[in-house]
Chains A and B, each alone.
Chain A
Amino acid sequence: MVGILSYGAYVPIWRIDRSVIAQIAGTGSMGGERSLAARDEDSLTMAVEAGVDCLAGLDPKEIDGLYFATASSPFKQKLGSSIIASALDMRKDVCTFDFNSSVRAGTSAVKAALDAVKAGSAKKVLVIASDHRVGRPGSQYEQMFGDAAAALLIGDNGAICEENGFATVSNPIPGPWQTETDTYLRTFEPKLDRLSGVLGDMPTAVNEVLGKAGLTSSDISKFALAGPDPRSYRDLARTLKFDPKTQMEDPLFSSVGVTGTSHALLLLVSALEKAAPGDKIVCVSHGEGSDAFLFTATPEIETAKREHRGTKYVASKKMVPSYGRFADWQGTRDTGWPPRDMSSSVVTFWREERWAFPFYGMKCNNCGTIQYPLGRSCINCRATDNFEEVRIASKGKVFTFAHDYIYDHGLIPGDGVTPGTRVVSDMEDGCRIWLEMVDCEQEAVEIDMPIELTFRLLHDKGGYRFYGWRARPVRG
């Protein structure tokens, strides 16, 4: 029985009220709020977070493939999935593929993973879809988009829901698009795209998958539909003849936004969190056509609910104080800070991959002290070349801290005006470690405060992107 073994999600903690954006744009507000990646987050860091959530309690070494889907890769050329796989401490022979260029890439990656498992070339494949799409200031996208990631572990043993059908439509509709040199997404005639594409292709795919299974829309517990805009849901419900009040998974528009490749999977995760055994869920994406899946929850679904945060990340939030902060983090306003012309050695970063991505430290074989970073000698008992490498625990508490207004390591958590917080932390495994603190107001930080690790962009000196782990308050 091939299907979903585990799920996870990630939504950045930050939200902005759409009316704040509308006020600056001089347009109407679409209502509600949208999620927002902090300055040190992008599609890749959010993907790692969703992966961590999905793999809670599971062994990353047992996974054979990592498929990363995004329409907003931080690199034009560089394999995001290889970085994510390392950060999640996967094997070196894990199959890493990136699925790009369309918001449909998330479901495409799920299809590829299911096929790999069915074909027997992999036992378990982790699919992560993540997007941090920046809308042109003043455009509808600026309000509409939200940042989020979702992860599904696909496999054939112990599925919490099984896949019962798939249908797809490919259709080169005009828009939206982004050329090689475009900074922002463009559209020519959104109404044409909607009528000819989304409202045609999504129902076509859904009806085909339902028809093949001998079902009608009334047999479906939840439709996890990722439409391109809030208006599309109403139209889709009407066309597909289902009750939007009871049968449609909340598209999270008023709380998160349109989240690109991750959207269909995020809504599927949301549906799975509430599903009972036997529930049938249709998951549908769009993007130059449409992919539709039919899933049925198994009795195992109940066991999955304990482990994951999933859409709890939607409720866990803080508001950004201003449009200025929003623009700084979106990168749509150039404050000239931090300086981007500093160089940094990519060689040392490569050499230190095990400190940086999977976050290995060392455990002294003589005195047992767990410490970071990896080195030659024990900081405590001074034994040399006598240690084993261990991953540092992901949770701990603050021993002491500082709010630093003047240190700029290239991309500190603040905005250049607010301070960067650094904490001396005692992790649950006893490791003492100095970490940068994010997602946190200064006043909230105190000695003994619980913290957890979060994967972030550390800095981008020399035009490269250096990723690693920071601390944040434990999220609900």
Chain B
Amino acid sequence: MNQEVFNLPQLLEDKVGKAMQYAYTYWARHLRLSPTFGDHIDQITTLMVDILKRAPLWIEIMSLENNLEEVIHSMNILLDWLDQVSGTLLQFNIEGLLLMILEIR
């Protein structure tokens, strides 16, 4: 049980660190502010997939931080962001196809 862990806040600060604690909690809010098009999308998506494959670890930390609701918020933000990316991608896709048709002609 989380509350049975002796001196949990100190332990978290020692093991995780302030910077990581901030990153774990607020990464999604930063993501929301980042553009949904451009070259970096590919990198971010690959990174996100890698991170989410290890999501239990993040969820564990968020629970220890007593901030589990942030997982729900973050995932909602990520899903919204992904919807926007997909929207842009669809547009890009159509433009690309049109370009190809022109080239073939």
Q: Tell me whether A and B are bound partners.
A: no
Chain A interface residues (CB < 8 Å from chain B): none
